[in-house]
Amino acid sequence: MGKEIERKFLVIRDDYRLSEKRNSIQQGYLCNETEQVVRVRLYNKQAFLTIKGKTIGITRNEWEYPIPYEDAAELMQLCKGVIEKVRYEVDFKGSTWEVDEFHGQNEGLIVAEIELKSEKEDIPIPEWVGREVTDDPKYLNANLVKNPYQCW
């Protein structure tokens, strides 16, 4: 079983756009409950099925499996909502930050995430990162599909 330990922050400057590592992502939710999420993701020419458990602190169980792209595209038709975003990967002082620039009904929202090895890991924070929103559930992708940023 995999563990996902991550922190999320709002982005206050566009320095992250200097990164040449960017990917288009579409993700839909087959199951979207507080206790469990089942997501299908189209990530450039790849596809994944991801299952996530309930978040406790900043940690949750996560299982992710590659699946055929054609299957994922068909599964997207069963989803109750879809998130569209461009993800930038930004290297900063030995860590890789993922910056999600949302589109569609979440246009205007930009969130930076950093995956950690432990909840106690100390990380340097880039100057383009603002307020931490790790503990605010409205910034979870699974919740953005239910209550998009443009409706806030």
Catalytic residue IDs: 29
Contact between 100 and 111 (Cβ < 8 Å): yes
Contact between 69 and 47 (Cβ < 8 Å): yes
Contact between 33 and 45 (Cβ < 8 Å): no
Closest alpha carbon to 47 in 28, 24, 72, 26:
72
Residue 121 falls in which region: left (phi positive, over 0), alpha (psi -120 to 50) or beta: beta
Closest alpha carbon to 88 in 13, 145, 38:
13
